[in-house]
Structure 1
């Protein structure tokens, strides 16, 4: 054999081995059997046919999961999925099933597979734990990636605390969360309530995983897909680049004072384990430590605050606050993102048409979910919820757990008319001042806050 031919053969073999080493995919499902899996929780039927993993919906059984026996930490997972219309499904990852926790109920991250009108397929749900972490309400491009009635290709990248998803090569989620670093991967057949959906199927194929050379295998980010971070009192590099800063450092009272004081209240507020809490005083508004406000004023901004309420609690996050307006009893005056236990606090039934419920522009505009979701996206009492307030000029938005619930123009005639029919009628130019303070309210009930961050436009 000529020397040149030998060299060509050698290089072909070398390149082939090199490509294989860089590729390094492993078939998670071999297409023949389920020897590397175990079924957890529900007893919906799973079978292997035509090299596909097939799940069949069943009445009177909880969510069913076909789970890997092995746990995975950092990985890239790809698969193709077909789901019949009306059936909900998902793929768990970094998830846990422990007999000592909720009797072994599978809980943890789930990449959503669904056919509903809200179009959240590809979003990230925290099964049996924290609820929706990344709905697709802030990513309209991602909402249109999934094609009902056809095979769809999914990709999940879980590397460090970054979790990113793609459907049909369109990026859907860009999540930062450090709750769980390792766990099982599981293919879900969701519980059904409607007899009409019994026997519907979800099918997976071409299920493969990569656990090496991950940094070099990442897909490029779509800059239009917002990053949502749940890290406690810390900013991601991306947030810093985009101008975010912590409004509360998680440790001290720096940057805050009492609304009617020149320093932070000496009692009524508590800082512990990265959480800022207003303490209960029996429901008396601003009678204990009193409201606290930022030292800085804000005009055009995006504010994000995590809050947790106790049963029956009332509080609020106010903005465009002028602490000089009300020197007497009661709270300082400003526009308010209502924080409330709608089920147990009487204020939810006061005002007009629910305009004092959680997420509302207090006493002015009722919080509503217009995103084809299942009711207002409130995670419940005793759970961390996120308030997001966006102000650009006169345009204002309230978001509750990443779902927009209020939108208005504070300089419009419609807004002025609302104020004239509200408790704020006596305050001249209410809600229209050029800039103001941000306030956390003491309404006499224990409410906790963390991850308070802001960026200005």
Structure 2
């Protein structure tokens, strides 16, 4: 009679079978959360709108053909979606074939005299040297929300002439994007809660580019039991809310300098308290009232109580017609001068209507410039006029590199204390101040220049 086998040997096959079945069950459950939006055979569930470019199915792939002299054409889902995770592959073979993916897209069939208009969140596919693929664009509405100047490391993610894997999370107010596994963009915005998924063939004006192809495949979506994928890197977040930070931002060291209710973080320049009048809070907005246009001669500048060395400071501002103001940094308050306190200045100005725009040297007193030193290299399409909110940003790195941004686009860069910087100071109004702009730390300042200007979403992060 054979000897009995040890119990664990008898049980082992059953345990392995159970583990295998459990793994299969879990995998099936995960797979069933994904739903295919393209069956690989035809365009069932989709329709082309707004333009005349053609979409075909070839070898299990959706192919969009560029057509000259027709507006942007979109292949959109007949179904609308709220929260979702979308994954797909996209390929571009020609530099003229700008494309994108609409997320919660909107469509007005009556717009443009009945031709129809697609608008809303679009995740960019940019084959040009600008390389803003994966950035977030508000199609036919507000323009760029997240240009890739805000995350230059991601500019290398998109591969021309190759299949690129996109992941797009749209959950609640948050939009997050990845290309080929690389983290790209992070936007917080609540303009659209639902909408369609859309694939774009961009308009072209040159007939020689007609027929160029854009390819889409492996389009799938999750709409239930969504689990946001955490970003591992420290990305800048574009938050269009009012004086709020995400948990992600807080975890990466960001702090609000204005919560919409209190001016606790600020004090009057050369004063022991916050100005008693002229600076007011209404509906979460900090406003300096307009008077006679004089420089800090009415209510006075305000400065942060805390000093900063290396930092990232973001702020939203809105000017009135003809307004002049500024955001200064490395303000030491040691000069005891009259007028505005001394410091490096991010210029805030109505370039079209204020005479200061034509003064200085070669435009170095225009909006977003390093005042009286370096002109901001900006395009008109990235400037919001009086009555509209602009997003400003100043970054000072520990190695003294400095950057100015306007609405997500880098417009100024220089190195504090470099010979080039000192040469510019020597021919500026600041030449009378010893070691101007080279203090190891200083206050941040919002300027009263006698014009009405509004501020919100003031947030700062110390850099190490």
Fold similarity call, TM over 0.5: yes
The one-character-per-residue Cα deviations of 1:52-100 (angstroms, maximum 9, x if unpaired) are 3222222333222222222212211111112231211100102223469
How far apart in 2 are the matches of 1:381 and 1:128?
Answer: 20
Q: Would the aligned equivalents of 1:281 and 1:287 in 2 still touch at CA under 8 Å?
A: no
**Between Structure 1 and Structure 2, how many residues are aligned?**
448
Equivalent runs, 1:27-66 vs 2, <5 Å? 27-66=36-75
How far apart in 1 are the matches of 2:16 and 2:274?
Answer: 76
The one-character-per-residue Cα deviations of 1:128-153 (angstroms, maximum 9, x if unpaired) are 33322222224344211211122222
Match of 1:452 in 2: 458
Consecutive unaligned residues in structure 2, runs of 5 or more: 1-11
User: Alignment partner of 1:97: what SS?
Assistant: strand
Alignment partner for residue 236 of structure 1, among 229, 246, 261? 246
Equivalent runs, 1:285-296 vs 2, <5 Å? 285-296=295-306
How far apart in 1 are the matches of 2:342 and 2:353?
Answer: 25
How far apart in 1 are the matches of 2:320 and 2:48?
Answer: 37
Match of 2:395 in 1: 390
How far apart in 1 are the matches of 2:110 and 2:344?
Answer: 46
How far apart in 1 are the matches of 2:388 and 2:208?
Answer: 34
The answer to which of 94-103 and 277-286 deviates more is 94-103
The one-character-per-residue Cα deviations of 1:162-185 (angstroms, maximum 9, x if unpaired) are 322222222222333333332221
| TM-score, length basis structure 2 | 0.86
Equivalent runs, 1:318-329 vs 2, <5 Å? 318-323=328-333, 325=335, 327-328=337-338
User: Alignment partner of 1:438: what SS?
Assistant: strand
| TM-score, length basis structure 1 | 0.87
Equivalent runs, 1:248-259 vs 2, <5 Å? 248-259=258-269
Q: Does 2:172 correspond to 1:160?
A: yes
The answer to which of 32-41 and 20-29 deviates more is 32-41
Q: Would the aligned equivalents of 2:327 and 2:347 in 1 still touch at CA under 8 Å?
A: yes
Q: Does 2:359 correspond to 1:353?
A: no
Match of 1:222 in 2: 232
Match of 2:6 in 1: none
Match of 1:412 in 2: 418
Q: Would the aligned equivalents of 1:360 and 1:366 in 2 still touch at CA under 8 Å?
A: yes
Alignment partner for residue 438 of structure 2, among 418, 432, 435? 432
Superposed CA RMSD in Å reads 3.0
Q: 1:5 to 1:286 in 2, by over 3 A?
A: closer
Q: 1:44 to 1:272 in 2, by over 3 A?
A: farther
How far apart in 2 are the matches of 1:107 and 1:282?
Answer: 42
Q: 1:339 to 1:9 in 2, by over 3 A?
A: same
The answer to which of 163-172 and 71-80 deviates more is 163-172
Alignment partner for residue 304 of structure 1, among 314, 319, 324? 314
Match of 2:224 in 1: 212
Larger Rg: 2
Consecutive unaligned residues in structure 1, runs of 5 or more: none
Match of 1:95 in 2: 105
Alignment partner for residue 197 of structure 2, among 160, 172, 185? 185
Match of 1:402 in 2: 408
Q: Does 2:29 correspond to 1:21?
A: yes
Q: Would the aligned equivalents of 2:322 and 2:350 in 1 still touch at CA under 8 Å?
A: yes
Q: Would the aligned equivalents of 1:29 and 1:207 in 2 still touch at CA under 8 Å?
A: yes
Match of 1:171 in 2: 183
User: Alignment partner of 1:417: what SS?
Assistant: helix
Q: 1:61 to 1:245 in 2, by over 3 A?
A: same
Q: 1:281 to 1:29 in 2, by over 3 A?
A: farther
How far apart in 1 are the matches of 2:419 and 2:346?
Answer: 21
